Structure 1
Amino acid sequence: MNKILVIILFSLVSLTWGTTWIAMKIATETIPPFFATGMRFLVASPILIILAYFTKTPLLFPYGQRWFQLIISIFYFSIPFTLMLYGGMYVSSSVASIIFSSMPVAVLTVSFLYLKKKLFLTQKIGMFISLITLLTVLLIELESQCFFQWKGILALLFALFSHAFIYSECQKKCLNVSVITFNALPSLLSGILLSTTSWFIESPHINTFSNRSILAIFYLGDFSGIFGILSYFYLQQKVSAFYASTVFLIFPVIAGFLENYIYKNAILLCEIWFIFPLIIGILLTLIPVNYLKKIRNKITRLSCLLF
């Protein structure tokens, strides 16, 4: 029964995250990115607040860390998610998903540079392979498409490392709050902030919004945003972080197939080949630290016996 539940959770996360990128592209067909992101969070926040009420989960962070809740609202929700939609307007869904499949590598890079975290040799090799491969894929994409794509790529990279930085800050502060607490109020604050900002910057005209763009917003807010995050959280409780993180290798494939089906945008053959070293690099960064320590200790003992 537990294995079936793990398979269901893994499949649900892969599908929701894989379809997120195509839903973002559909949403921004007729809705400007600031307003689309704001509406996405305003749609999600009431359900999260209701879940918090019925599960007796606090909405506020622990005393002394509540200022960080505001920072999360801006630098984890408002800015990055808006940049994701903005970047999706210029970059294909498959490339956007490939960029975000590098999240484990981005977190490891930020932890190494910012937190001065010690890395094993295999992690350093994996980080190097992943970053070089990602850079190569992005350069190929720029060369094969219109050059204005650099705007979308920069937006997505900023969103990626903004998420990685906040995640590293959470590790640094030993922040241990419920996934509902982490998302509920920041979603509401971000929704209000972005929707208000949109009226002054984008001047959205609701009568121009298409039905499928509106449906995409509800999908992003209620299904992808809530059930995708909660499913990943519970998946992490059922399996190790290594196996849970392998979902980052699956959802770009789903995004690529969907984009090819809906928009007839075929992935370049060379990009497909570069996905393999990217996967290898990500897997090397995901190898559990405890496992690497055991290998290091075995090698140390073996070298003492030999010499």
Structure 2
Amino acid sequence: MSSTAVSTPLNISKPWLGGFITSLLFLIVCLSWGTTWLGIKIAVESVPPLTAAGLRFLIAFPLFLGFAVLRKEPLLFPRQSRWFFVFVTLSYFSLPYYLLNYGEMHVSSGLTALLFSGMPVFILIFSAVFLREKIHSAQMFGIAIGFGSLFMIIRSQGLHLDQAEWLGVLAILSAAIMHALCYVVTKKHGSAISVITYNTLPIGIAGLMLLVVGLVFESPAFTSITTRSWGALLYLGLVASVGGFIVYFILLKRLSPVLLSFVFIIFPVFAVIIGAWYEGTEISRDLMLYSATLLAGFAITKLPVKR
């Protein structure tokens, strides 16, 4: 996605203050994305997955629309990219977020974050396939370490014993793969589209479609939705979707893409700790070891290499 849509009005005269603000924004993104998974977990406690995804996006849509109007950004994709608009709406917003919600009905929020943290690695693989970008030996080594550790995490958590949990794992990995594919296709066909245009109408239409399909197939009882789940949906729509988005693209103006990409390595740590606290589970020594190895492997794939 293009990063030209969000400007940084912060002109800090004192270098130390600028560094402090950048570090604070980085922490905010890590916390925002790290708590997203717990928010999803709480939301689907009393809201079916399709309906939950639709409500989340419909809560976020007015704010995105307001940003688009204030910044005078076009709402429609270029005419020659209308197919790409449909692709983004379906493969970035609609189906993946339903899969994430479904997956979190069966998998812990911390494990969900660890599974999804492999998304940048899938980007690397798809970039090699579709963009003919070379994968270097160090990156291959990191991929092998990461996915080997991921297998050990799943095995150590005993998910092989439960079919529903396996389906949850597959749903989350499928969402990560679809997001990765969408990023690569965006790099090839949508780099000229502003970030706000990229998000606004797709998130609104995806929200409406998901809610309608949820009303038809899930028949949610809105009177049974708990205050906790409504609070989680508001948090996901206003803070995680909109707030995290804004801060992330502000940081794109202040940090190198490689450094900023380590958000994907750090936020799972927050997610595992916060999820274990909420769910009252102990983080085992094996899980800590395999998680650290997993994130280290994925971090290797993101280190700059000599061309």
Q: Same fold (TM over 0.5)?
A: yes
Secondary structure in 1 matching 2:134: coil
The yes-or-no answer on 1:257 pairing with 2:279 is no
Name the counterpart of 1:148: 164
Task: Pick which of 35-44 and 263-272 moved more.
Answer: 263-272
Unaligned 5+ runs, structure 2:
1-16
**Counterpart among 255, 262, 279 of residue 246 in structure 1:** 262
Letter in 2 for 1:21: W
Task: Tell me, yes or no, if the aligned pair for 1:109 and 1:127 is still in contact at 8 Å.
Answer: no
Secondary structure in 1 matching 2:133: coil
The yes-or-no answer on 1:170 pairing with 2:186 is yes
Matches within 5 A, 1:30-179: 30-143=46-159, 146-173=162-189, 175-179=191-195
Secondary structure in 1 matching 2:158: helix
Letter in 2 for 1:29: E
The yes-or-no answer on 1:27 pairing with 2:27 is no
Secondary structure in 2 matching 1:80: helix
Name the counterpart of 1:272: 288
Unaligned 5+ runs, structure 1:
294-307
Letter in 2 for 1:36: A
Letter in 1 for 2:92: Y
Name the counterpart of 2:238: 222
Secondary structure in 2 matching 1:148: helix
The separation in 1 between residues aligned to 2:128 and 2:159, in whole angstroms, is 31
Name the counterpart of 1:236: 252
Letter in 2 for 1:73: T
Superposition TM-score, scaled by structure 2 size: 0.91
Secondary structure in 2 matching 1:175: coil
The separation in 2 between residues aligned to 1:183 and 1:71, in whole angstroms, is 12
State the Cα distance separating 1:5 from its structure 2 match.
Answer: 2.3
Deviations for 1:110-160, whole angstroms, at most 9, x for unmatched residues?
222343321221112112221222122123223576442101000000000
Task: Tell me, yes or no, if the aligned pair for 1:26 and 1:213 is still in contact at 8 Å.
Answer: yes
The separation in 2 between residues aligned to 1:183 and 1:245, in whole angstroms, is 20
State the Cα distance separating 1:266 from its structure 2 match.
Answer: 2.1
Larger radius of gyration: 1
The separation in 2 between residues aligned to 1:268 and 1:117, in whole angstroms, is 38
Name the counterpart of 2:14: none
**Counterpart among 171, 176, 189 of residue 205 in structure 2:** 189
Name the counterpart of 2:214: 198
Deviations for 1:178-200, whole angstroms, at most 9, x for unmatched residues?
22111110011001101110111
The separation in 2 between residues aligned to 1:173 and 1:54, in whole angstroms, is 26
Task: Pick which of 277-286 and 189-198 moved more.
Answer: 277-286
Secondary structure in 1 matching 2:157: helix
RMSD of Structure 2 on Structure 1 (CA): 1.5
Secondary structure in 1 matching 2:80: coil
Task: Tell me, yes or no, if the aligned pair for 2:59 and 2:237 is still in contact at 8 Å.
Answer: yes
Task: Tell me, yes or no, if the aligned pair for 2:154 and 2:160 is still in contact at 8 Å.
Answer: no
Structure with more of its chain in helix, by fraction = 1
